[in-house]
Amino acid sequence: MDFKDLCLRRRSHRHFTDEPVSKADIDLIIKAALLSPTSKSRRDWKFVVVTDKEKIFSLSEAKDHAAELLAEAPLAIVVAGRPEENDCWIEDCAVAAVTMQYQAEDLGLGSCWVQMRDRGIGDIAASSIISAFMGLKSDEEVLCVLAIGHKAKELPPLDESQLKYDSVKYI
Ligand SMILES: Cc1cc2nc3c(=O)[nH]c(=O)nc-3n(C[C@H](O)[C@H](O)[C@H](O)COP(=O)(O)O)c2cc1C
């Protein structure tokens, strides 16, 4: 599959089979993140690979909605950065997260970004909830958690005729 087909096929997957993601696939996904571009080549991010079902379930409860899908995933990757050290931490983490999503898709796996920054439960930030049981450092903040696994079913590609070309300006 070439990259244009990968772009067409990638969808957000929220349902997964019980099959674990192999170590070889996890290694490739993490390698893709570590190869991703960063501002000033800082490479100042943190990725926590979680395969423990109980810990993944705890991640699914770190915000009040739209994280439930994590509970079904055999693999979660917490993506964190250091806001005080890196003024581009959000961009760097986002680029790495999306790169992992495309690598996962290339391996035939499904993935979904679960937003954690500026989310939480009531006044408690999702990032501090996650830090407490993931042992993150006090200066690390969680941008998102990726849910990754074998797709429960294929999803159709987006309808290309509906793509928002009106958001593109050619000059
Ligand atoms: C910044 C960002 C935050 C997102 N947060 C969530 C989330 O918290 N929970 C969720 O189920 N999906 C989340 N998504 C997935 C989007 O809902 C999904 O990308 C969008 O509906 C488009 O669908 P598609 O990815 O299948 O094209 C997020 C995606 C992005 C890029």
CATH, residue 72: 3.40.109.10
- Residue 166 inside a domain? The answer is no
Show the domain range for 16: 11-149
Q: Which of 21, 68, 71 is nearest to 49 (CA)?
A: 21
In a domain, 160, yes or no: no
Q: Are strands 124-125 and 120-121 parallel, antiparallel or unpaired?
A: antiparallel
Q: Residue 101: inside a domain, yes or no?
A: yes
Position 144 in a domain: yes
Q: What is the pLDDT of residues 103-117, one digit of tens each?
A: 999 999 999 999 999
**Residue with CA nearest ligand 1 atom 21:** 12
Which 3 state secondary structure label does DSSP give 147? strand
Residue nearest (by alpha carbon) to ligand 1 atom 7: 114
22 domain residue, yes or no: yes
- For the chain, the domain total comes to 1
Question: What is the value of pTM for the model shown?
Answer: 0.98
The answer to whether position 168 is within a domain reads no
Q: DSSP characters for 29-60?
A: HHHHHHTS--GGG---EEEEEE--HHHHHHHH
Ligand 1 atom 1: residue of nearest CA: 115
Cα(95) to ligand 1 centroid in Å equals 15
Confidence label for 130 from pLDDT (cuts 50, 70 and 90) = very high
